[in-house]
């Protein structure tokens, strides 16, 4: 696959390295001269100096034949425009954007960016999981965000401890997929599986039920 | 008309003063409060420190009630993104966007934004002066 990457920062660099290792054709657009030189030294001649939001620059690197454009600069507006220009001027079929402000997910979706990855949200989710008051983390979004795979750690004071899984009243459209016990390790849950403190429960749920399932699994 | 202007640059300040003098309800936003010094003393509108890409600032500017949103910051990308937020999330009836890059200007015009590209306009004016 031919993949154009806009932004040669840390994310752009590591992403390119990974894609090159997987055998893809990669091109990085980066505006900073010193950064371009560094990337060239590390990755070879896969770097062009230029603004990835500018149609002329994108044209010069053959964006029209790109299978995908990934915009990973540190500025949301820049990433949005790079994706829109790729899509509307060069008919790139798949565009992926990094965003830092979680509020921007909605506008990116409305404007047709295929995938957004919000670094702030991911970091928050990981930190949240370590906080006693927020034991849920979203692992994966499916069906363009309508379904979520979540992981919850059963707090030591949960009312659910010692109860069988069949006693749970899960919201509609939700299911427990996996239970990882502290000692027992991963188990496929059955209705008779008994919940223990600090079990990690992996479940699938509709996005709108996340709060309900959070309340239920923490069982306070 | 209620007009929200993002960017109190020379153009933004001039436009804000003009619309205000014509009796419209004007809110001008900029991330730098120093930029408001460009507004004339007689300016009756609201000057608001904030970023037009940010939900909170847009709500403070009462974007939901705006008839027109204009983006004239120095960054094409910021202007384009703010205008699309105003149009698609807050349903502002008329959004006007300054875009320096003529190619991007054409593209966003086709995508339904009202656009102005000073690059083309100024080049034409200069040519007219040279040849005239």
A89 — contact with chain B (CB < 8 Å)?
yes
B77 — contact with chain A (CB < 8 Å)?
yes
Residue B119 Cα, gap to closest chain A Cα (Å): 14
> Residues B82-117: pLDDT tens digits?
999 999 999 999 999 999 999 999 999 999 999 999
Name the residue among A56, A75, A88 with its Cβ closest to that of B111: A88
pLDDT band at A167 (very low <50, low <70, confident <90, very high): confident
> A150, A135 in Cβ contact below 8 A?
no
A85 — contact with chain B (CB < 8 Å)?
yes
pLDDT of res. A183: 81
Among the listed residues B85, B75, B32, the one whose alpha carbon sits nearest the alpha carbon of residue B54? B85
Q: Give the angle A175-A181-A183 at the CA atoms, nearest 5°.
A: 165
Record the pTM: 0.79
Cα separation, A94 vs A63, whole angstroms: 12
First to last CA, chain B: 39
> A202, A176 in Cβ contact below 8 A?
yes
| Token couple for A172 | 């509609």
For tokens 């005239």, the residue is B132
Chain B residues in contact with A54 (beta carbon < 8 A):
101, 103-104
A111-125: average pLDDT:
90
> Residues B59-88: pLDDT tens digits?
999 999 999 999 999 999 999 999 999 999
Cα dist. A96→A113, A137, B125, B131 in Å? 6, 23, 40, 47
Contact: A101, B104; criterion CB under 8 Å: no
Handedness of CA A156, A160, A166, A172 (dihedral sign): negative
DSSP A60-106: HTTGGG-SEEEE--S-HHHHHHHHHHHHHHH--SEEEEEES-GGGHH
Among the listed residues B9, B5, B15, B72, the one whose alpha carbon sits nearest the alpha carbon of residue B38? B9
3-state DSSP assignment of residue B62: coil
Cα separation, A26 vs B17, whole angstroms: 49
> Residues A44-64: pLDDT tens digits?
999 999 999 999 999 999 999
> Residues A179-209: pLDDT tens digits?
998 888 898 988 888 888 888 889 898 888 8
Cα separation, A28 vs A19, whole angstroms: 11
Chain A residues in contact with B80 (beta carbon < 8 A):
77, 80-81, 84
Burial class (CB in 10 A: 0-12, 13-18, 19+), A27: buried
Nearest CA in chain A to B55: A103
pLDDT of res. A59: 94
pLDDT band at A132 (very low <50, low <70, confident <90, very high): low
Q: How many CB atoms lie within 10 A of CB A96?
A: 19
| Token couple for A112 | 């047709």
Give the rounded percent of residues in chain B with a pLDDT score beyond 90.
92
First to last CA, chain A: 50
């Amino acid at each position: 696959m031919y993949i154009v990457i806009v932004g040669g920062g840390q994310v752009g660099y590591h992403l390119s390295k990974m894609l090159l290792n997987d055998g893809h054709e990669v091109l990085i657009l980066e505006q900073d001269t010193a950064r371009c030189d560094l990337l060239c030294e590390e990755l070879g001649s896969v770097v062009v100096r230029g603004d990835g939001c500018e149609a002329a620059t994108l044209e010069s690197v053959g964006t029209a034949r790109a299978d995908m454009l990934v915009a990973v600069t540190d500025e949301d507006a820049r990433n949005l425009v790079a994706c829109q220009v790729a899509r509307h001027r060069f008919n790139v079929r798949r565009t992926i954007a990094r965003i830092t402000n979680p509020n921007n997910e909605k506008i990116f979706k409305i404007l047709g960016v295929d995938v957004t990855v919000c670094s702030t949200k991911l970091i928050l989710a990981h930190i949240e999981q370590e906080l006693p008051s927020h034991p849920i983390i979203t692992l994966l979004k499916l069906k363009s965000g309508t379904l979520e795979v979540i992981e919850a750690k059963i707090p030591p004071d949960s009312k659910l401890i010692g109860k069988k899984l069949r006693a749970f009243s899960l919201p509609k459209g939700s299911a427990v997929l996996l239970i990882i016990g502290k000692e027992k390790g991963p188990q496929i849950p059955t209705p008779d599986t008994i919940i223990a403190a600090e079990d990690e429960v992996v479940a699938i749920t509709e996005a709108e039920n996340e709060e309900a399932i959070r309340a239920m699994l923490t069982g306070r | 008309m209620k007009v929200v202007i993002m960017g109190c640059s020379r153009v933004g300040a001039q436009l804000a003063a003009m619309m205000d003098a014509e009796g419209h309800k004007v809110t001008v936003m900029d991330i730098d409060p120093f930029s408001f010094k460009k507004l004339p003393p007689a300016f009756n509108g609201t000057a608001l420190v904030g970023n037009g890409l940010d939900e909170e600032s847009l709500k403070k500017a009462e974007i939901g009630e705006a008839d027109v949103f204009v983006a004239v910051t120095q960054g094409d990308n910021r202007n384009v993104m703010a205008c699309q937020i105003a149009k698609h999330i807050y349903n502002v009836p008329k959004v006007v966007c300054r875009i320096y890059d003529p190619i991007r200007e054409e593209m966003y015009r086709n995508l339904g934004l009202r656009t102005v590209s000073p690059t083309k306009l100024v080049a034409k004016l200069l040519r007219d002066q040279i040849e005239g």
